[in-house]
A and B are shown apart, each in its own frame.
Chain A
Amino acid sequence: MGVKVIIPTPLRPYAGKRDSTEVKAGTVGEALGRLTTEFGDLRKHLFTEDGKLRSFVNVYVNDEDIRYLAKENTPTKDGDTISIVPSIAGGLCDGY
Chain B
Amino acid sequence: MATKVQPMTGAQEAAKAAASLSNEEILRYSRHLIMPEVGMEGQLKLKSAKVMLIGTGGLGAPLGLYLAAAGVGRLGLVDFDIVDFTNLQRQVTFSSGDVGKPKTEAARERLSGLNPDIQIDTFETKLTSDNALELFKDFDIIVDGTDNFPTRYLVNDACILLGKPNVYGSIFRFEGQVTVFGMPGGPCYRCLYPEPPPPGLVPSCAEGGVLGVLPGIVGSIQAMETIKLILGSGESLVGRLLLFDALAMRFRELKLRKNPNCPMCGEHRTINKLIDYYEFCGVRGEEAPAPNVQVPEITPRELKSRLDRGDDLFILDVREPHEFQICNLKGHLIPLGELPRRVHELDSSREIVAHCRSGKRSAEAVDFLRKAGFRKILNLKGGILAWSDEVDPSVPKY
Contacts and interface: CB of A to CB of B under 8 A. Distances in A.
B388 to A, nearest CB: 15
Contacts of A83: 243, 252, 254
Interface string B236-267: 00000101010110001111110100000000
Nearest to A50: B286
Contacts of B206: 96
Given A10-B207, A94-B204, A94-B291, A89 B149 contact: yes
B254 A63 contact: yes
Nearest to B243: A85
A96 B201 contact: no
B195 interface: yes
A85 B254 contact: yes
Interface in B219-248: 241, 243, 245, 247-248
Given A9-B175, A10-B172, A64-B255, A54 B207 contact: no
A87 B203 contact: no
A33 interface: no
A96 B361 contact: yes
Contacts of B173: 9-10
Contact of B257 (A49, A68, A92, A95): A68
Contact of A91 (B58, B175, B254): B58
A77 interface: no
B127 to A, nearest CB: 14
A88 B291 contact: no
A10 B203 contact: yes
A30 B29 CA distance: 56
A80 interface: no
Interface in A47-65: 48-49, 54-56, 58, 60, 63-65
Main secondary structure of the interface of A (DSSP, over half): loop
Contacts of A95: 205, 358, 360
B199 interface: yes
A45 interface: yes
Given A85-B241, A91-B171, A96-B361, A55 B207 contact: no
Contacts of A93: 203-205, 208
B331 interface: no
A55 B192 CA distance: 9
A86 B197 contact: yes
B357 interface: yes
A20 to B, nearest CB: 9
A94 B149 CA distance: 12
B170 A90 contact: yes
B170 A65 contact: no
B205 A96 contact: yes
Given A63-B253, A63-B254, A93-B208, A9 B172 contact: yes
5 contacts: A13-B207, A83-B254, A89-B147, A89-B202, A90-B59
Interface of A: 8-10, 13, 19, 44-45, 48-49, 54-56, 58, 60, 63-65, 67-68, 83, 85-96
Interface of B: 57-59, 146-149, 152, 170-175, 177, 192-197, 199, 201-210, 241, 243, 245, 247-248, 252-257, 259, 286, 291, 337, 356-358, 360-361
